Amino acid sequence: QVQLVESGGGLVQPGGSLGLSCAASGIIFSVSAMDWYRQAPGKQRELVARIGSGSTYYADSVYGRFTISRDNAKSTVYLQMNSLKPEDTAVYYCHVRPNGMDYWGKGTLVTVSS
């Protein structure tokens, strides 16, 4: 079955950096578009970044600060987050949608606070 396992969350000060990883299994990773979503307290889950085989997408709120990348040999997608702001505080989820089915990781908490 499809499994997505995130890691790398934690507490960071405003202006700091943090990197997230998502290890995928049960899918043909190299042809799968991979997403990072986030959900802040009291807010809807939102798409943060997406990476396909040759393209990337970023939400306006993170453009220029976050970088999504992938390592097909390791079936892993990454999210490098720089210049973090308190409003980036959220649970970050890895997502994939092979054949029209949505799969989510359990999420990793990122807290940006001084």
DSSP 63-84: TTTEEEEEETTTTEEEEEE-S-
**Residues 63-93: tens digit of each pLDDT:** 999 999 999 999 999 999 999 999 999 999 9
Task: Return phi, psi of residue 45, to 5°.
Answer: -65, 135
Asked if pLDDT for residue 54 goes beyond 90, the answer is: no
Average pLDDT of the segment spanning 57-68? 98
Alpha helices in the chain (DSSP H): none
Positive or negative: CA dihedral 52, 70, 111, 41: positive
**Residues 99-113: tens digit of each pLDDT:** 899 999 999 999 999
> CB-based burial of residue 102 (10 Å sphere; 0-12 exposed, 13-18 middle, 19+ buried)?
exposed
Q: Which residues contact 42 (CB under 8 A, 6 or more apart)?
A: none
